[in-house]
Amino acid sequence: MITKRMKVSIAMALLVSMLIANAGTDTDINADEMIFVDSSWLAQHLTDNNLIIIDARTSSEFEKGHITNAVNIPMKRTYKPTKNIYKIGDLRQIQLLFSQAGIEHNKRIIIYGDSTYLNSSRVYYVFEAYGHKKLSVLEAGYPGWIRNSTNPVSTKTTKPKVTDYTPRIEPNRILSKFEMQLAISDADKIILDSRPLDHFQGKASVSDRFGKIPTAINMPANDNYIDVDGLRKLKSMEELTKMYAHIDPSKKIYLYCNEGLNASRTYAVMRLLGFDIAQYDGSWYEWGYDHKLPIESAEIRD
């Protein structure tokens, strides 16, 4: 007998297959659901007028070499400019940052970073949290791009034309501490921990408490990738689908990690898989230091 959950899983698998088939061949860069693109695709569309390429690496890395015509938005500039507060920048901060980078609502944004996907996925998440619809992450990042010597690179910094970009907060993408508390006892929510296993098990921590948010299950962000000829790439869709087969796609997924980076990597992958997801931006750094909040398998440092 085919259950409702099985029907949902089958439908999601079919959708994922369609998205992946289109990702490598789609010539319409206005398609909303191209979560990842590869270097071959970008090389073919590099001069398209309705494309903006964002380099999410540091300014010094950008100056040493970047994809031709790329604009630099260092990932750290998307955080609130407050020491030890790892949260997404407020509306005014993001408006200024994106406007100065020449971002326009009707253009597709291609985001790349280094080989870790940390900076590119985080900037991808920020764009989504503030309502931009046409977004893609470049698979294998800058290392993958320069692997092909015919792909154009530059050390020239072109100052983009300033725009009047108006970000729109997507409340279904950004989670507060209070919302995470409610999710612990909500059967329609799944809390997913993207930290390394030793952090999930309480053997390591970035805060003064060790453990996890109650009911959370562990899916380390690194498990989404595989090293191929020295480049980090997404695992095959067959592998990813199997990895996430135990996650009920009919439920809302609440992600967290330590400081919002690993959760962003998982966020992009789960968007590709068709899950309904949101990210707790304060993550374990906020939750772990707040001793009023519950944790499991925890101990206090001396």
pLDDT digits (tens, 9 = 90+) for 235-259: 999 999 999 999 999 999 999 999 9
- Of 150, 152, 123, the C-alpha closest to 136 is 123
Q: What percent of the chain has pLDDT over 70?
A: 88
Regarding whether 148 and 37 lie in a shared domain, the answer is yes
Query: Are 137 and 192 in the same domain?
Result: no
Domain CATH number, residue 27: 3.40.250.10
Number of separate domains in the chain: 2
Rounded to an integer, the average pLDDT of 81-88 is 79
pTM: 0.88
The domain boundary, picked from 119, 154, 189, lies at 154
- Tell me what the pLDDT averaged over the chain comes to: 89
Report yes or no on 213 lying in a domain: yes
Residue 15 lies in a domain: yes
Identify the domain containing residue 57 by its residue range: 4-154
Q: What is the pLDDT of residues 96-145, one digit of tens each?
A: 999 999 999 999 999 999 999 999 999 999 999 999 999 999 999 999 99
| Cα dihedral sign, 33-36-41-43 | positive
Same-domain status, 149 and 239: no
Q: Is residue 6 very low, low, confident or very high in pLDDT (cuts 50, 70, 90)?
A: very low
Q: Closest Cα partner for 274 from 1, 3, 2, 8?
A: 8
> Is pLDDT at 82 greater than 80 in this prediction?
no
Residues 149 and 24 occupy one common structural domain? yes
146 token code pair: 């320069």
Nearest to 54 by CA among 8, 93, 110, 95: 110
The whole-number pLDDT of residue 158 equals 80
Per-residue pLDDT for 20 more than 60?
A: no
Q: Residues with Cβ < 8 Å from 170, sequence gap 6 or more?
A: 128, 129, 130, 131
Q: What is the pLDDT of residues 30-72, one digit of tens each?
A: 555 799 999 999 999 999 999 999 999 999 999 999 999 999 9
